[in-house]
Amino acid sequence: NSSSFVKVLGQDYPTDEKTNITSAIIEKLDRRLHLQPAHPIGTLRTLIESHFPSFSSYSDFSPVVTPAKNFDDLSFPEDHPGRSVTDSYYINNDLMLRTHTSAHEVETFAKGVREWLLTADVYRRDEIDASHYPAFHQMEGARIFDTSPNGIRELEEDNARLAAHLQRSNIVIEDIPHITATNPHQPLHDPKHSELVAQNLKLSLNSLILDLFGGRAGAAEGEPLRVRWIEAYFPFTSPSYEVEVFFHGKWLEILGCGVVLQSTLDRARVPDSIGWAFGLGLERIAMILYSIPDIRLFWSQDPRFLEQFAPGVINTFKPFSKYPACYKDVSFWLSDKSLHENDFCDLVRDTAGDLVEDVKLIDAFTHPKTQRSSRCFRINYRSMDKSLTNEEANVLHEQVIARLKQNFGVEIR
């Protein structure tokens, strides 16, 4: 409907067939948790900024970007799944919510700054559980070096300085080779330069991780913190890596990074340079450092949450009592309209807001004769600040079912 508009951050935008942004998401856009000084996300930003004192810091870029900025500038292929409406939030064909802080790499490099940090809220359609939320915060960091002999000498000196600094005991870092056949340097790069930049990246991030986690996480149980580097793939870096931290019995991914694709620097018109970039997930790190058990809590306006924190201080979160869970299942036959799991999660999120803790697909089935497909989802309704009655959960669940029928033409089983 071309005469419809959606209001985003005080501005009206025309909607079209691509529009899939929901009111539950729109409400998050002006919260700016990373700029609240006492909020864990704000504190983490300032701690990381002070770890990189010579870097320029940015934290005020609008979440509304063009798909060109979010994807094309970073060499995402035309058919990359991240571009689809099932993965990303679109305002319309021409505008979307950034899915990562890398969306600002080109414009930031184009300012001429050679080492910078950029913190922002990012948005992705995703599953619902304790560590996934469709709105979260990332910090992008990047540094580029001159490829002149002087620049490379500085890089080598910096590597020696960082390596000397990295001497602590209660952290075990599992490393991998900087460059391999499956994680190659870029054809345009001198392999020696690429190797040195990758080394600088790893040393810089290991030193940040030691600074943030040293003596904190895991220390209580007397166990060392375990960190591992793994080979990764991003369309805009090569070689690429991910870093995971062992937390509550699971490896939790906290960042992605790599040597910046030369085409990104070319688009920013930065000549004769080579460098690295990383993007880290602030919620994941804050959950570990503060022992915050559920990612929804970051958005809580409850004083029992907010009043536990002070600017610049990392303290252990004391959970207020957990209220009982209320599980409700819904089983239905699909119509000819497609329904992605993320569509279902967004519908639930938009109906029940933060009263939904977890959504699981528990059954998917196609009838052998009729070829009709059915789905069964289990929704866990739980409030973080009161005991939800069965009647209240029923009201929400009925609304979910009504919208499911209306928007996706499903037939309840």
CB of 196 to ligand PHE, least distance (A): 18
Report phi then psi at 239, rounded to 5. Answer: -65, 165
Binding test (CB under 6 A) with ligand PHE, winner from 257, 295, 384, 388: 257
CA dist., res. 244 & res. 255, Å (int)? 7
List beta partners, residue 360: 378
Q: Segment near ligand PHE (CB under 6 A), from 41-49, 190-198, 276-284, 338-346?
A: 276-284
CB of 278 to ligand PHE, least distance (A): 5
Closer residue to ligand PHE, CB minimum distance, 73 or 357: 73
Question: Is the CA virtual torsion 261, 267, 272, 277 positive or negative?
Answer: negative
Contacts to ligand PHE from residues 219-248, by CB under 6 A:
234, 237
CA dist., res. 74 & res. 98, Å (int)? 13
- Asked if 135 is part of the footprint of ligand PHE (rule: CB under 6 A), the reply reads no
Binding mask 333-352 for ligand PHE (x = CB under 6 A): --------------------
Residues touching ligand PHE: how many (CB under 6 A)?
Answer: 10
Residue given tokens 């919510």 in the structure block: 97
CB of 237 to ligand PHE, least distance (A): 4
Q: Are 152 and 162 in contact (CB under 8 A)?
A: no
How distant, in Å, are the alpha carbons of 38, 62, 203, 267 from that of 32? Answer: 12, 11, 30, 29
Spatial CA neighbour of 250 closest among 221, 232, 228:
228
Q: Segment near ligand PHE (CB under 6 A), from 33-41, 256-264, 300-308, 405-413?
A: 256-264
- Asked if 278 is part of the footprint of ligand PHE (rule: CB under 6 A), the reply reads yes
Q: Segment near ligand PHE (CB under 6 A), from 170-178, 252-260, 264-272, 309-317?
A: 252-260
DSSP, collapsed to helix, strand or coil, labels residue 144 as: strand
Closer residue to ligand PHE, CB minimum distance, 277 or 359: 277
CA dist., res. 229 & res. 177, Å (int)? 9
Binding mask 360-389 for ligand PHE (x = CB under 6 A): ------------------------------
If you count them, how many residues does the chain have?
413
Q: Are 21 and 11 in contact (CB under 8 A)?
A: no
Residue given tokens 């509304």 in the structure block: 64
Q: Are 134 and 100 in contact (CB under 8 A)?
A: no
Binding test (CB under 6 A) with ligand PHE, winner from 279, 382, 384, 404: 279
Q: Segment near ligand PHE (CB under 6 A), from 22-30, 79-87, 253-261, 373-381?
A: 253-261
The single-letter code of the amino acid at 107 is E
Binding test (CB under 6 A) with ligand PHE, winner from 152, 203, 270, 277: 277
Helix axes 40-51, 282-290, angle to 10 degrees: 100
Largest CA distance in the chain: 72
- Asked if 258 is part of the footprint of ligand PHE (rule: CB under 6 A), the reply reads yes
CB of 98 to ligand PHE, least distance (A): 10
- Asked if 100 is part of the footprint of ligand PHE (rule: CB under 6 A), the reply reads yes
Report the Cα 382 to chain-centroid distance in Å: 24
CB of 234 to ligand PHE, least distance (A): 4
Residue number closest to ligand PHE, CB atom = 279
List beta partners, residue 229: 243
Q: Segment near ligand PHE (CB under 6 A), from 208-216, 274-282, 340-348, 404-412?
A: 274-282
CB of 280 to ligand PHE, least distance (A): 8
Q: Which residues bind ligand PHE (CB under 6 A)?
A: 100, 102, 234, 237, 256-258, 277-279
